[in-house]
Chain A
Amino acid sequence: MKIEKPADKSEPNAPAISTERPFELYRAMRLMRRFDEPASSLGPHDPTGAIMFRGEEATSAGAILARGGGDYIVSAYRGHGHRLAVGADPKLAMAYRFGKLSRDAISELDADLHFVSASDALAIATGIALSIAYREAPHAVCCIFGDEVLAQGAFHEALNLASLWTLPVVFVCENNFFAMGSITDNAVCQEELHRFAASYKMPGTRVDGMEVLEVHAAVALALAQARRGEGPSLVEAVTYRPNGPQGDRIALERDPIATTRRQMIEHADDAAARLDQIDLDIERLLDQAAAFADTLAPCR
């Protein structure tokens, strides 16, 4: 397992962000984590064993908040948190997790949501990008997937087509060094995953997936290029899933939420109060969502 910090790839041409954006990124990360963590009010709930976010919030939040109006997000995994990060009602997600709403019911209540299978996600993103190019619309697709896809043929077909047809899609690989059941060192011949981009004639960058602003800047730049018709990119965000002693240690030491919080308070003294308020609001929101989910009968 590679544990060294990736080289600094800060991008001088990244689009400028507003002073509010760090707060929005913090809120999205915090919401994803607290949704997953069994808070006191959630207690023993969570029959689904959903894939957890802990340690990877920065890659998802950084990528997702880079989207503009009209852009699409395609998630291979952890789509529940991605959907929350773009503003979905946590009530529905919580009810789904509690086994109170079926997939079909969720799809009916949330028209913007489609469920996709992980191995199809990259080609589906490519297809959505094809529809954008077909209409010559100034939008792009951000596709977020895990490193395990690099060991699958689906990765090659999707990136080849996206580049061949110069489609507006950004492939964001969350490299946490673990697939579902294998470690990436035993699965992929190239340990620097961003290097695959060169063979598809697209830009490839590697960013520190524990630094939300770094991820955000890289994905924002890639999406801007895509919207301008300059074609697809691959962004590798190096992150850590708590999994075994080493990953746990790194995830703890480099916790992206704690890091962001510390940086924001160092940058501005009055940030602490606002961040505390964000934390409180999220607790209230999730308590309400859990209470709502509790009122529903189990779906059949």
Chain B
Amino acid sequence: MTYREAIAAALREELARDERTFLLGEGIGYGSGAFRVTAGMLSQFGERRIRDAPRSDAALAAVAIGAAMGGLVPIVEMRSGALALAAAGQLMNHRTLPIVIRAPLGDDGAPAAIAISPEVRVVAPASPADAKGMLKSAIRHAGPVIVLEHRSLYDLSGEVPDDPDYQAPLEGARIIRDGAALTIVAYSHAVEESRSAAAILEDHGISAEILDLRALVPLDTAAVAASIAKTGRVILASEGTADAEIAASIYRGAFRSLRAPIEIVSPARSRDIVKVATRLG
């Protein structure tokens, strides 16, 4: 199943499960959304559940806040991460309202600060399984969650559990590759780039560990520190958000483990990760 299909499956299952859920976004009905995630949903669920909206950037998050105050569970699609940044500011005061904002990261200048408030969870799934499981958890969560997808991940394939009650936790990093010489901290599409980089580094005799952060709010700072305690070196393979926050947490939690300065590669491309890793010594 692809990342796109995994997201669509999560949306379909949750729309069918809970009458309070509805989709809201620019062109999600007649236009199938920015990346065709919602294709076919208008005919399946109708205009009441699949609410086509205009490009009202400032209003959509606030409309979702109001709808949640009125007892609904709005799931908003935004066409870029930059729009999610504005939404994060609007959601900050509404930590008890169930609202999901889906937005794609990508090449349009990744927003630097979506992870701005402890009140608004931000997750960035890197695999189809997490894309489905974390979105389902986000929809069932009692507070606002921003789900950052990635335009380069929509066609990625992977195993996804069939269980309609499958959910993935909204926090906690995961080691997806063991290594000894270097930690690559990544999330979203940067995880894929890091996998390619680690394979190349293996040929150079450098054993890289990859930590998939999965969530940016809250950050799993303990997992980052634990990995660096083992490797002593770290590269932040970034999608342009939360770098400073992660770096600060490393100085706080793993400063004495560092044998080299923290490196940031943004945007994360495998050849750049390799270039930086090979000079870390």
Asked whether any CB of chain A lies closer than 8 Å to the CB of B71, the reply is: yes
Min distance, Cβ A162 to any Cβ of chain B, angstroms? 10
Is B70 in contact with A120, judged by CB distance below 8 angstroms? Answer: no
Q: Does B222 contact A (CB under 8 A)?
A: no
Separation of A88 and B107 alpha carbons in the complex (Å): 50
Q: Is B56 an interface residue (CB 8 A)?
A: yes
Q: Which of A116-137 contact B (CB under 8 A)?
A: 116-117, 120, 122-132, 134-135
A127 to chain B, nearest CB (A): 2
A256 to chain B, nearest CB (A): 30
Q: Is A153 an interface residue (CB 8 A)?
A: yes
Q: For the complex, is A144 an interface residue (Cβ under 8 Å from B)? A: no
In this complex, the interface size class of chain B, counting residues with CB under 8 Å from chain A, is 20 to 34
Closest approach, in angstroms, between the C-beta of B232 and any C-beta of chain A? 41
**Cross-chain contact B69 with A160 (CB below 8 angstroms):** no
Give residues 6-43 of B contacting A (CB, 8 Å). 22
Give the CA-CA distance A170 to B68 in the complex, in Å: 19
B59→A134 contact, CB < 8 A: no
Chain B 176-202 interface mask (CB, 8 Å, partner A; 1/0): 000000000000000000000000000
Q: Do residues A120 and B67 form an inter-chain contact, with CB atoms below 8 A?
A: no
For B22, the closest partner residue in chain A by CB is A134
Residues of B within 8 A of A72 (CB): 69-70
| Distance in angstroms between the alpha carbons of A115 and B119 in the assembled complex | 15
By a CB distance below 8 angstroms, the chain A residues around B56 are 123, 157, 160-161
Task: Give the 6 A-B residue pairs with the shortest CB-CB distance, closest first.
Answer: A127-B66, A131-B70, A123-B62, A157-B59, A127-B63, A124-B66
Which A residues contact B (CB, under 8 angstroms)? 72, 74, 107, 114-117, 120, 122-132, 134-135, 153-154, 157-158, 160-161, 164
New A-B pairs, 19, CB < 8 Å, besides A127-B68, A128-B69: A114-B94, A116-B65, A120-B62, A122-B62, A123-B65, A124-B62, A127-B63, A127-B67, A129-B66, A130-B67, A130-B70, A131-B70, A135-B71, A153-B58, A154-B59, A154-B62, A157-B59, A160-B54, A164-B54
